[in-house]
């Protein structure tokens, strides 16, 4: 019953068209009026809509699922620009060796991470979240554009240890909607919390449904 209520909430929240004007004052923003306008024009030209809501909080972990195609980035980048939303992503520190590329990645919101040691990415992400006054961290739990048996759960522990909400985001190719779904605060019961997250992805259709992670396929079957 609780899962059905969670799903109902997500359906109600995603009916609302979302724009940069609806973001609260605490939500981190890029502050680029021109880039925002360009993003809005691109999203409209491609026939997509931004729906749902984003909680007025300074820090959060944003989930991008399902992720089955390079086209996901083609649509998500204009969406982020259109909302004037400042979302940070994780990238290898080796990407920052060259000045021009380094400047570009910094502008794009990429945080350099040393991936050479096991566990360092998770801890570095937690540390970054804790010491930042304002940070939306974007992660793709599937970890690949192909089929995966397990979702990566690092995002859960980043949110739990930092005390920030998880904001699920879905890209539905059937309705051409990028949906910002119901935020979830971790309780420590990862199985129950994951179910609350996954149930919101029911009936979401990605570019390649057969490549969705097993957990997402299960929720849709």
Average pLDDT on 103-132 reads 77
Structure confidence at residue 36 (pLDDT): 93
Backbone angles phi, psi at 89, to 5 degrees: -120, 160
pLDDT at 97: 83
Spatial distance between the Cα atoms of 169 and 52, rounded to a whole number of angstroms: 9
Question: Is the pLDDT score of 12 beyond 80?
Answer: no
Which of 143 and 80 is assigned the larger pLDDT?
A: 80
pLDDT at residue 118, as a whole number: 58
Cα–Cα separations (whole angstroms), residue 55 to 116, 117, 183:
35, 34, 7
pLDDT value of residue 116: 64
> Mind listing the pLDDT tens digit for each residue in 171-198?
999 999 999 999 999 999 999 999 999 9
Instruction: Determine the average pLDDT of the residues in 206-213.
Output: 93
Residues 169/179, Cβ–Cβ less than 8 Å? yes
Q: What pLDDT shows up at residue 90?
A: 72
Q: Residue 216 pLDDT > 60, yes or no? A: yes
pLDDT, position 115:
64
Q: Which has more confidence, 61 or 96?
A: 61
pLDDT at 175: 95
Q: How far apart are CA 195 and CA 38, in angstroms?
A: 36
pLDDT average, residue stretch 18-29: 94
Average per-residue pLDDT in the chain?
A: 86
């Amino acid at each position: 019953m609780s899962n059905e209520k969670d799903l109902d909430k997500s359906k109600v929240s995603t009916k609302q068209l979302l724009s940069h004007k609806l973001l609260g004052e605490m939500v981190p923003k890029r502050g680029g009026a021109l880039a925002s306008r360009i993003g809005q024009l691109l999203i409209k030209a491609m026939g997509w809509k931004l729906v749902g809501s984003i909680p007025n909080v300074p820090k959060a972990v944003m989930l991008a699922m399902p992720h089955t195609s390079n086209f996901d980035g083609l649509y998500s980048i204009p969406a982020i620009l259109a909302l004037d939303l400042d979302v940070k992503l994780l990238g290898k520190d080796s990407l920052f060796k060259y000045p021009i590329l380094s400047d570009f990645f910094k502008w794009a919101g990429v945080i350099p991470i040393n991936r050479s040691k096991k566990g360092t990415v998770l801890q570095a992400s937690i540390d970054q979240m804790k010491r930042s006054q304002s940070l939306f961290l974007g992660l793709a739990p599937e970890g690949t554009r192909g089929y995966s048996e397990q979702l990566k759960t690092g995002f859960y522990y980043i949110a739990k240890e930092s005390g920030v909400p998880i904001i699920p985001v879905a890209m539905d190719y059937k309705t051409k909607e990028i949906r910002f779904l119901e935020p979830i605060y971790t309780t420590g019961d990862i199985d129950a919390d994951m179910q609350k997250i996954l149930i919101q992805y029911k009936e979401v259709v990605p570019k390649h449904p057969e490549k969705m992670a097993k957990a997402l396929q299960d929720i849709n079957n």
